[in-house]
Homo-oligomer: A and B are copies of this chain.
Amino acid sequence: MKALVYTGLNEVTYREELTPEPQVGEAKIRIEAVGIFGSDMHAYHGEDARRIPPLILGHEAAGIVVSGNNLGRNVVLNPLICCRNCHDCRSGRSNLCAERKLIGMNYPGAFAEFITIPERNLIPLPEGMNPVHAALTEPTATSLHALYLAERALHRPVSEGRTLVIGGGSVGLLAALILNSHGCKEILLCDTNPLRRETVLKTGCCEVFDPKTEPVNLDDSFELVVDAVGTEATRSMAIRAVRPGGVMMHIGLQQSSGESDFRKITLSEITVIGTYTYTHTDLEGALKILHSGALGDLSWIEERPLSEGAAAFSDLNDGCSAAPKIILNPKI
């Protein structure tokens, strides 16, 4: 089969790979759409020690089952393979499973014509759903999970407060779209990339600004801040912007460490919540809201052939793509 393989620093190669065959309990899926995510870019930059080349990346995938029990079914993949036996798995927090594995990291990923995955990791698509939209399930579940945690921690409903979203990539934009669908009327989003800002603005779900020309009175004024970038600078902005008693969600992780203002966190009683991926339930919920139309027409997705994946990585790297999400298609 053809696959897009991470072959070395800043290099992905479209080449022939062995077609995987399913083991007992696994399904074989022909990939129809697979998104490029921040963590794929991280690997590409050689910044993720867990992803070792040569490796087929990609974990945001939709396709059609070509073997076994679910033959012919359109599905989206739950890319996290958990043990199902530990305390966390059994208490509904499979995202924390210490034994968890991820396709595109511990197993070959979905930037390929075919993939194999345990049958329990398949989620059936609603009738007639576009696989390109379905491939957005994974980042949507990431944002949904983060907002579920945020809404549990907030003192009042998001519809009564203001939210700042830092970063207009797919997770940031999807957070803004979900918040909008939850009735949050005042959402500000910032991104350093003018092309991204333009795309986000067009969705109509929020106001947009360039962090270099920050609005006045940003400090202490948001009940909720979503940091979908995760650098020392964005965390610093997030902590400044959150109002006393508010919540800061930390989703992105571009910089692992750095200085943080614990005086503000303490004296203003801020809740800082790290959020990691999603559960199977989050993925099912994400697929449902994507299909419902509550997040808009998703016209900001850009579809490209898998064979041109190297150019897509390069464009994302250079910041010259206006799309918060590029979906690769092995069939075109």
| Residue A289 at the chain B interface, CB threshold 8 Å | no
A153: nearest chain-B partner, CB-CB: B153
Shortest distance in angstroms between A243's beta carbon and chain B's nearest beta carbon? 9
Q: Binary interface profile of A, 263-291, with partner B (CB < 8 Å = 1, else 0)?
A: 11111111111111000000000000000
- Residue numbers of A with Cβ under 8 A of B are 88, 91, 93, 95-96, 98, 149, 153, 155-156, 230, 235, 244-245, 250-251, 253, 255-276
| 4 additional contacts (CB under 8 A) given A269-B274, A271-B273 | A93-B245, A96-B268, A250-B262, A271-B271
- The complex is assembled from copies of this chain, and their number is 2
Given the complex of chains A and B, what is the CA–CA distance between A230 and B267 in angstroms? 12
Q: Among A245, A267, A269, which residue has the most Cβ atoms of chain B within 10 A?
A: A269
Q: Are A253 and B267 in contact (CB under 8 A)?
A: yes
Contact: A258 with B262, CB < 8 Å? yes
In the complex, which residue of chain B has the Cβ closest to the Cβ of A267?
B276
Of A95, A260, A268, the most chain B CB neighbours within 10 A belong to: A260
Asked whether B245 lies within 8 Å of A265 as measured between CB atoms, the reply is no
Across the interface, do B269 and A263 meet the contact criterion of CB distance under 8 Å? no
The answer to whether B265 touches A257, judged by C-beta atoms less than 8 angstroms apart, is no
Residues from chain B with a CB closer than 8 A to the CB of A95 are 269
Contacts of A155 in B (CB 8 A): 91, 93
A122 CA to B204 CA, complexed, in Å? 52
Contact for A153 among B253, B271, B274, CB less than 8 A: B271
> Known contacts A230-B262, A262-B250, A272-B271: does B98 contact A244 (CB below 8 Å)?
yes
Q: Is the beta-carbon distance between B272 and A265 smaller than 8 angstroms?
A: yes
The interface residues of chain B lying within 8 Å CB-to-CB of A149 are 269, 271
Q: Please, which residues of chain B bring their CB within 8 A of the CB of A251? A: 266
Determine if B250 and A256 form an interchain contact, defined as CB atoms under 8 angstroms apart: no
A-B contacts, 17 of them at CB < 8 A, read A93-B155, A95-B269, A96-B245, A98-B244, A250-B265, A250-B266, A253-B263, A253-B266, A255-B262, A256-B262, A257-B259, A258-B262, A265-B272, A268-B276, A269-B273, A271-B272, A271-B274
